[in-house]
Structure 1
Amino acid sequence: MYLIELFLPLADNQGSPFSREQHKAAEHVLTEKFGGVTAYPRAPASGRWKASDSGQHHDDFIVYEVMAEELDVSWWQGYRKELEATFRQERLVIRSHPVRLL
């Protein structure tokens, strides 16, 4: 069993917010594919990183989680590219962790 986490930004790199519909579309895809999704929209996470242009960047994002029996890496790589286009990002973080249900 795997726990997969997606970090989707609330705004693009220029600060223009994404619509709720864009996030709902991702929720719909994840629900259809995995039977459910958990979102943490009320307490957005905040991230900061150093870019290659020597500046610092900041994002506020919603964390989404799904659980899957198998990890289909090729599907996730394709879906990440789709989300990067939708959310106008050079790179989105999607990570997986093996988990055991207790």
Structure 2
Amino acid sequence: MRGNMNNMMKQMQKMQKKMMKAQEELHEMTFEASAGGGMVTVTANGKKEVTDVEIKEEVVDPDDVEMLQDLIIAATNDVLKQIDDKTEATMGQFTKGLNMPGMF
């Protein structure tokens, strides 16, 4: 019985190292999303930090600031969803079948 417990602990430590490596790799990834046919582009890293916002000059209309705001929101939400989807796909492999609500 004790040998099984030691073996299980080693397996858990191994899995934890793999999870940490996968998370580090996710954090280093770059994600990009655009809205308005490329008029607004938002870039973020896997930590959900926005690293760049690119706005085409022709979309800047002082009389229609709302449209620009909407495009920025749409692109930002899209890039955050991409990060969530990639995180779920990558980290979900470690929690498959464990039935742990709230994990990733």
- Choose between structure 1 and 2: higher strand proportion: 1
Same fold (TM over 0.5): no
TM-score after normalising by structure 1: 0.32
| RCO comparison, higher one (Cα < 8 Å, 6+) | 1
TM-score after normalising by structure 2: 0.32
Larger Rg: 2
- Choose between structure 1 and 2: higher helix proportion: 2
